[in-house]
Amino acid sequence: MEQVHAVVLAAGKGKRMRSDLPKVLHPVCGQPLIFYVLDALHHAGISSSIVVVGHGADRVREAVGAQARYVEQAEPRGTGHAVLMALPHLPDDGNPVLVLYGDTPLLTAETIHALTALHRTSGSAATLLSARVPDPSGYGRVIRDGDGRVRKIVEEADCSSEERQVMEINAGTYMFRQQALREALRALTPGNAQGEYYLTDTIGWLLGREQQVSALVASAEETVGVNSRQELAAAESLMRRRLLDRLMEGGVTIIDPVTTYVHAGVQVGPDTVIHPQSYLEGATAVGARCTIGPQARLVDATVGDGVTIVASSVERGAVGEGSTVGPYSRLRPGTRVGRFVEIGNFAELKNAEVGDHTKVHHMSYLGDVTVGARVNIGAGTVTCNYDGTRKHHTDIEDEAFIGSDTMLIAPIRIGKGAVTGAGSVVNKDVPPGGVAVGVPARVIRYVTAERRR
Ligand code: UD1
Ligand code: CA
C-alpha cells in the first residue's frame, strides 16, 4: 500500500479561547485536543506525520513528544500557508498527503480510512471530508452545483446570504494528490483582507483546472471543531459519551452516564458497576466485578478485581483484589493496599503499604508507613510522621493490634502481634508480642499464645 503523509495543523493562536495555553493543548477527557488527532492517525496506520506548530510551539512540541515531526510556521498566515510550510519537509515521492486540523478531536480512524479509500478509488486530485450539521455557523460551507458536485468551499465570513443557509460544512480533513497540492498551494492568493491563505481555496482552484474533487460526508459529531470554550465543553461531552459507550460495550454498567467522568485510556473490567458522580482519570485501570462510587475519584489508580470504593479518592495508588475503601477515605499518592483490606470511614493514607486482610477504620492517618497483614488499626490512630523538619517511617508488623487513639511517634516499629493500648503515645519500638500502654507507652506484658491465635 502506498504511504500517506499526514500534516496536522496546530500553529494557530486560538484567539477565541482567550487563553495562554495553545488551543490544541486544551484538554478533552484528560488529553490535549491534538492527542486525539494523532491517535486517530496512529490507529489508521499512518505513521508519518508532520505537525505544523507556531503559537506556543515549544509547549506543543513538549506535550506531543517524539511521535511526530515538527515544522514551524513563524506567523499564522492561514491554513494554506501552514501546509505550504510543511511541503518542503515531505518526501517528494508522489504519495498522497492527508491534511488535518489539530482542533477536531472527534475524527475517527475509521473515517480517515474511508477518506483515504475514497481518494484512492476515485482517483481525485483532492478528497475532502464534510458533514451536514444542524448548526453550521463558524464553519466553511461546501458549495455544490445542481448535480450535487462540489464546486468550492466558502468561509462563513465570505458567504453570500444563500451560501450561509448551506448546512454542509467543511470538516478540515482532506486527502490530496501530492502534485496537485503542491501546484494549488503555489498558486494560492490571500483569501481575506488580513492576508491569510486559505487551504480551502485550493479546492476551487483545482476544480477550475478541470481536476476532480470528491467529498466524503461524515457524521456531524466527528467533525466538531474546537474554537471556543463552549465548543470545548461540547467536544468534552461528546468524547466522554464515546468513552463511556466503549466501557459499556466492554461489559461495564454505568448507572448514570451524565454524571460519570472518564479520561481517554481508562480501563475498566467487565461487570464492574460505576455509580453516579464518579471520576476515573489519568491512567486508571479498574478490574472486573468492582463497585465504584457513588462519588469516587480515581486518578492514575490501579484497582484489582472485586474492589468497592465508595465516596473516596485514590490518587496514584493501588488497591488489591477484594478490598473495600470508604465511604469518605482519601488514599494519597504512593499508597498500595493489599488484598481483602478494609479502609474505613474517614481514613487518610499517604505513602502507605498495607498488607492483606488488614483493617483501617474510623478516622485514622497512616503516612509513610508499612503495615503488615491481618493488622487492626483502631479508631483515631495517627502515625506522627513529621517532626517539623523531616518525615519518618513507621513499621507495623503482621497481626499487630493498634488500640484506638494510638499516637505512633515515627520512626518506630511495632513488632509482630504486638498490642498498643487505647490512648497510648508510643515513642519507642514495641517488640513482637509486646503490650504497650500509657503516655509515653511502656511494655507491661506480652500477649499470650491464645491472643496470638
Ligand atoms: C477551518 C476551515 C473551515 C472549516 C473548519 C473546520 C480554513 C480557511 N477554514 O476554519 O473551512 O469549516 O476549519 O473546523 O481552513 N492553523 C495553523 N496556521 C494558521 C491558521 C490555522 O496552523 O495560520 C491551524 C489551527 O491551529 C487549527 C487549524 O489550523 O488547528 C484550523 O484553523 P482555525 O483557525 O481553527 O480554522 P477555522 O476558522 O475553524
Ligand atoms: Ca477550527
Q: Around ion ligand 2, which residues have CB less than 5 A away?
A: 103, 225, 227
Q: Tell me how far apart the alpha carbons of residues 336 and 323 are, in angstroms, rounded to a whole number.
A: 11
386 in a known ligand binding site: yes
- Of the pLDDT bands very low, low, confident and very high (cuts 50, 70, 90), residue 2 is confident
- Of the pLDDT bands very low, low, confident and very high (cuts 50, 70, 90), residue 48 is confident
Give yes or no: residues 378 and 283 share one domain: yes
In a domain, 129, yes or no: yes
List, for residues 228-248, the tens digit of each pLDDT value. 999 999 999 999 999 999 999
| Total number of domains constituting the chain | 2
Give yes or no: residues 151 and 94 share one domain: yes
List, for residues 130-160, the tens digit of each pLDDT value. 999 999 999 999 999 999 999 999 999 999 9
In a domain, 107, yes or no: yes
**Considering the chain, what percentage of its residues have pLDDT values greater than 70?**
99
For the entire predicted model, the pTM comes to 0.94
Q: Tell me how far apart the alpha carbons of residues 55 and 124 are, in angstroms, rounded to a whole number.
A: 33
- Of the pLDDT bands very low, low, confident and very high (cuts 50, 70, 90), residue 452 is low
Q: Write out the E strands in 263-358.
A: 267-268, 273-274, 278-281, 285-286, 291-292, 297-299, 302-303, 308-309, 313-315, 318-319, 324-325, 330-331, 336-337, 342-343, 348-354
List, for residues 178-232, the tens digit of each pLDDT value. 999 999 999 999 998 889 999 999 999 999 999 999 999 999 999 999 999 999 9
In a domain, 85, yes or no: yes
Whether residue 449 has pLDDT greater than 90: no
Pocket flag, ligand 1, residue 78 (CB < 6 Å): yes
Q: Which atom of ligand 1 is nearest to the CA of 52?
A: 22
C-alpha cell at 285: 485501570
In a domain, 229, yes or no: no
Q: What is the CATH number of the domain that holds 317?
A: 2.160.10.10
In a domain, 384, yes or no: yes
Ligand 1 geometric centre to CA of 98 (Å): 15
Pocket flag, ligand 1, residue 44 (CB < 6 Å): no
- What's the chain's length in residues? 453
Q: Which segment of 194-198, 319-323, 445-449 scores lowest on mean pLDDT?
A: 445-449
Q: Is the peptide bond before 96 cis (omega within 30 degrees of 0)?
A: no
Whether residue 397 has pLDDT greater than 90: yes
Q: What is the pLDDT of residue 451?
A: 57
Q: What is the pLDDT of residue 450?
A: 56
Task: Supply the residue whose CA is at minimum distance from atom 35 of ligand 1.
Answer: 227
Beta carbons of 37 and 64 less than 8 angstroms apart: no
Radius of gyration over every alpha carbon of the chain, rounded to an integer in angstroms: 30
Q: Tell me how far apart the alpha carbons of residues 240 and 256 are, in angstroms, rounded to a whole number.
A: 12
Task: Supply the residue whose CA is at minimum distance from atom 16 of ligand 1.
Answer: 12
Give yes or no: residues 328 and 284 share one domain: yes
Q: What is the pLDDT of residue 390?
A: 97
Whether residue 70 has pLDDT greater than 60: yes
Whether residue 60 has pLDDT greater than 70: yes
In a domain, 393, yes or no: yes
Task: Supply the residue whose CA is at minimum distance from atom 20 of ligand 1.
Answer: 78
Range list of H helices, 56-209: 57-64, 79-86, 109-122, 161-164, 178-187, 201-208
List, for residues 81-101, the tens digit of each pLDDT value. 999 999 999 999 999 999 999
The full DSSP string for 389-448 is: S-B--EEE-TT-EEPTT-EEESSEEE-TT-EE-TT-EE-S-B-TTEEEETTTTEEEEE--
Give yes or no: residues 275 and 160 share one domain: no
Give yes or no: 362 in active site. yes
Whether residue 79 has pLDDT greater than 70: yes
Whether residue 367 has pLDDT greater than 80: yes
Task: Determine the average pLDDT of the residues in 428-446.
Answer: 98
Give yes or no: residues 336 and 438 share one domain: yes
In a domain, 237, yes or no: no
Vertex 104: Cα angle to 229 and 52 (nearest 5): 105
Beta carbons of 141 and 147 less than 8 angstroms apart: no
Q: What is the pLDDT of residue 193?
A: 87
Structural domain for 82, as ranges: 5-218
Ligand 2 geometric centre to CA of 227 (Å): 5
Pocket flag, ligand 1, residue 84 (CB < 6 Å): no
Q: Which segment of 30-34, 66-70, 376-380, 400-404 scores lowest on mean pLDDT?
A: 66-70
Give yes or no: residues 395 and 448 share one domain: yes
Task: Determine the average pLDDT of the residues in 327-356.
Answer: 98
In a domain, 225, yes or no: no
List, for residues 248-306, the tens digit of each pLDDT value. 999 999 999 999 999 999 999 999 999 999 999 999 999 999 999 999 999 999 999 99
Domain boundary among 203, 218, 233: 218
Q: Is the dihedral of CA 121, 127, 128, 131 positive or negative?
A: negative
Q: What is the CATH number of the domain that holds 78?
A: 3.90.550.10
Beta carbons of 421 and 435 less than 8 angstroms apart: yes
Q: Tell me how far apart the alpha carbons of residues 265 and 23 are, in angstroms, rounded to a whole number.
A: 21
Give yes or no: residues 163 and 296 share one domain: no
Ligand 2 geometric centre to CA of 30 (Å): 20
Q: What is the pLDDT of residue 197?
A: 97
Pocket flag, ligand 1, residue 227 (CB < 6 Å): yes
Give yes or no: residues 87 and 208 share one domain: yes
Give yes or no: residues 61 and 119 share one domain: yes
Ligand 2 geometric centre to CA of 47 (Å): 24
Q: Tell me how far apart the alpha carbons of residues 311 and 334 are, in angstroms, rounded to a whole number.
A: 20
Q: What is the pLDDT of residue 249?
A: 98
Range list of H helices, 21-171: 33-43, 57-64, 79-86, 109-122, 161-164
Q: Tell me how far apart the alpha carbons of residues 324 and 340 are, in angstroms, rounded to a whole number.
A: 7
Give yes or no: residues 161 and 257 share one domain: no
Q: Is the peptide bond before 333 cis (omega within 30 degrees of 0)?
A: no
Find the ligand nearest to 140 CA.
Answer: 1
Give yes or no: residues 67 and 187 share one domain: yes
Query: Can you tell me which residue has the cell 492517618?
Result: 365
Domain boundary among 192, 218, 244: 218
| β-bridge pairing 359-360 and 318-319 | unpaired
- Of the pLDDT bands very low, low, confident and very high (cuts 50, 70, 90), residue 434 is very high
Catalytic residue among 113, 275, 362, 393: 362
Give yes or no: residues 287 and 147 share one domain: no
